[in-house]
Amino acid sequence: MELGARAIDHAIDEAVDQTPTSAPAASDSVPSLDEWDVGDDNDLQFRRRFLSGLLAPGSTGKSALRLVQYILLATNRPLTGQRVFKRSRVLVVSLEHDKDELRRRIAAVCIEHKVTRGELKGWLFCAAPKGFKLAEVRKGSRQIGMLEKMLGKAIERRKADLIGLDLFIKLHALEENDNGAMDFVCDLLVQLAIEYDIAVDAPHHTKKGQVTAGDADAGRGASAARDAGRLIYTLTRMTEEEAKAFGIKAEERNLYVRLDSGKVNIAPPSSEATWFKLVGVKLDKGAGDYPNGDEVQTVVPWDPPKTWANLSNAQLNAALTDIDKGLARGS
């Protein structure tokens, strides 16, 4: 069952507590230096004038995670535990889902994280254009598509700081395994970032097969798409070994995903990775033909059990190996 815009607004109003704004801090004659502990840093990795991307297999939750991150930028609230340097106007362009589905997903985020529509007013803008491409082939040659001009006009009109384009594969009609073609597409995205002094983000599917956390080469298609991105991240499901180490039931492990930078040589141990849990959010109470209501997926931060906080992957694997061997004879 799909909900219309009014019904979704009503669902948000019913489910979200209207928490009053916190009182301002007491005045101080000495301004704060606003220093922070670098050890606590967990910043959102979007940068003006650069192209970023999130690589993940299908149905891993990349669109759900990115939408929460876009909304935390628009509200200046650390909904995922990641630091926000500056409140930003965000333009979300869904090339995969229609307006109704995008509204449902936004409603799920707002309900789960208690975000009001008032907080988003003037800061979060959405579009779901169909049939338009950033790049296409016409008369046997690569050409800039109408979507490029549409994006530029919308960025100017809404004064966007970040534009999220979901998904990369839907942006163009070129051959994704052709490095020259992917260079052409990525150059257009980088040009948008530089011309309008904004951050551009384009989540992307990974190739088939097992994906290793932090592997920047995991993206589908030609390597040019990866090379053009300054800030590339991976989102991977919890492995069987990680589930055993953290005490997660086998049937529930796919609900847990980890976010890793793809621009480092070695991904951090699982206990130090940034983890999220996929949760279902009900948009209504259900009635008639749909007694269970309408449920949409979003993400919430998740921390591994502290028992394993200081153990590396090598130590965890060694412990699991010993457990699998069982007790020695005579013990």
Structure tokens at 238: 């919890």
> Looking at the domain 41-325, which fold is it?
Rossmann fold (3.40.50)
pLDDT tens readout for residues 155-168: 999 999 999 999 99
End-to-end CA distance of the chain: 59
Residue 216, H or E segment: none
Question: Residue 34: which pLDDT band, with cuts at 50, 70 and 90?
Answer: low
Structure tokens at 227: 């090379």
Structure tokens at 189: 């995205």
Helix (H, G, I), strand (E, B) or coil at 257: strand
User: Of 167, 162, 152, which is closest to residue 74 (Cα–Cα)?
Assistant: 162
Contacts of 208 by beta carbon, 8 Å cutoff, 6+ apart: none
pTM: 0.80
Question: Residue 19: which pLDDT band, with cuts at 50, 70 and 90?
Answer: very low
Q: 172 forms bridges with which residues in the sheet?
A: 135
List the domain boundaries for the chain.
Answer: 41-325
Least confident of 50-64, 176-190, 259-273: 259-273
* Averaged pLDDT score across all residues of the chain: 85
Spatial distance between the Cα atoms of 182 and 175, rounded to a whole number of angstroms: 8
Question: Residue 62: which pLDDT band, with cuts at 50, 70 and 90?
Answer: very high
Question: Residue 122: which pLDDT band, with cuts at 50, 70 and 90?
Answer: very high
Q: What is the pLDDT of residue 318?
A: 77
What is the percentage of the chain residues whose pLDDT exceeds 90?
Answer: 60
Beta strands in 12-75 (DSSP E): 51-56
Q: What's the CA dihedral at 97, 100, 105, 110 to 10 degrees?
A: 150
Q: What is the pLDDT of residue 167?
A: 93
Asked if residue 280 lies in contact with residue 287, where contact means CB atoms within 8 angstroms, the answer is: no
pLDDT above 60 (res 126):
yes
Q: Looking at mean pLDDT, say which of 32-36, 224-228, 271-275, 286-290 comes out highest.
A: 271-275
Spatial distance between the Cα atoms of 181 and 183, rounded to a whole number of angstroms: 5
Q: What is the pLDDT of residue 148?
A: 97
Average pLDDT over residues 243-250: 94
Spatial distance between the Cα atoms of 137 and 144, rounded to a whole number of angstroms: 9
* Three-point CA angle 300, 304, 310, nearest 5°: 145
Phi/psi of residue 63, nearest 5 degrees: -65, -40
Question: Residue 9: which pLDDT band, with cuts at 50, 70 and 90?
Answer: low
pLDDT above 70 (res 7):
no
Structure tokens at 211: 């994906």
Task: Work out whether the CA dihedral 170, 231, 255, 164 comes out positive or negative.
Answer: negative
Spatial distance between the Cα atoms of 322 and 222, rounded to a whole number of angstroms: 42
pLDDT above 50 (res 20):
no
